[in-house]
């Protein structure tokens, strides 16, 4: 178990509590911080979620609002209904929602997809958002093996399928208001190791931005 990531999640939770409305909502993280058997891939997904929220919170004109729901973030794909998420407010205007593991209705009937992190319009349905509500999607790919690469071609193709089903295959012009992560465009695959490929033409064809070496003690690189 990646105790170092759990420790940082805990610190990030404390830090974010100072700039959001969830100071008394520590139970939202109880399923991770107190989880002895938590899987590293889920810990890593939540670590990425917290790091993104931290970066968004650094701008003094930003406020990160916590929507508490039932107080427990989903472990894996789950309906959005009554689940916690965050809202970015900029200059007192609510800009978008940042959700974790939300199931989203795709353009294909009876098919739902649940990216690890999704940026959703403020008009997004509170129970089952659909693809028209989505501004950007991210997936986290973790590996604790000895391999230098943490995801394979099939996983990249699977993410591309999600992109197409959620109609995120158009040039992304959404400004996500980052401080240090401005190169994290829509359709991001974030990994703790090396990308399956650094061929920019191939990634452009797949409509994917890869962030590799995104981990403690590493310097990440955007491809």
The DSSP line for the chain is --HHHHHHHHHHHHHHHTTSS-TT-GGGGHHHHT-TT--HHHHHHHHHHHHHHHHHHTSTTEEEEEE-TTS---SSSB--TT--EEEEEETTEEEEEEEESB-EE-SSTT-EE--SEEEEETT--SS--BGGGEEEEEEEE---SS-SBS--HHHHHHHHHHHHHTT--S--------SS-TT--SSEEEESSB-S---HHHHHHHT-EEEES-STT---EE-
Give me 32's structure tokens.
């991770």
Confidence (pLDDT) at 207:
85
Confidence (pLDDT) at 167:
94
Confidence (pLDDT) at 220:
96
Confidence (pLDDT) at 137:
96
What class is the 3-222 domain? alpha beta
- Gap between the Cα atoms of 163 and 80, Å rounded: 19
**Ranges of the chain with pLDDT below 70:** 1, 14-38, 146-150, 171-173
Give me 73's structure tokens.
């973030």
Please tell me the total number of residues recorded for the chain in this structure. 223
Structural domain spans, the chain: 3-222
Confidence (pLDDT) at 16:
63
Confidence (pLDDT) at 149:
67
């Amino acid at each position: 178990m990646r105790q170092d990531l759990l420790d940082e999640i805990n610190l990030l939770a404390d830090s974010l509590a100072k700039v959001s409305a969830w100071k008394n909502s520590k139970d939202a993280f109880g399923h991770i911080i107190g989880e002895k058997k938590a899987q590293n891939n889920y810990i890593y997904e939540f670590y990425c979620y917290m790091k993104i929220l931290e970066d968004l919170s650094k701008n003094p004109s930003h406020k990160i609002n916590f929507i508490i729901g039932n107080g427990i973030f989903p472990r894996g794909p789950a309906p959005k209904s009554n689940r916690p998420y965050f809202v970015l407010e900029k200059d007192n205007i609510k800009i978008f929602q940042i959700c974790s593991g939300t199931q989203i209705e795709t353009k294909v009937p009876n098919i739902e997809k649940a990216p690890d992190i999704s940026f959703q319009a403020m008009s997004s349905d509170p129970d089952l958002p659909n693809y028209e509500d989505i501004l950007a999607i991210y997936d986290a790919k973790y590996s604790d093996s000895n391999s230098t690469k943490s995801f394979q071609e099939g996983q990249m193709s699977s993410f591309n399928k999600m992109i197409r089903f959620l109609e995120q295959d158009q040039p992304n012009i959404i400004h996500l208001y980052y401080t240090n992560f401005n190169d994290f465009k829509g359709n991001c695959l974030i990994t703790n190791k090396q990308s399956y490929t650094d061929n920019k033409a191939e990634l452009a064809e797949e409509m994917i931005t890869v962030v590799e070496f995104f981990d403690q003690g590493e310097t990440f690189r955007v491809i």
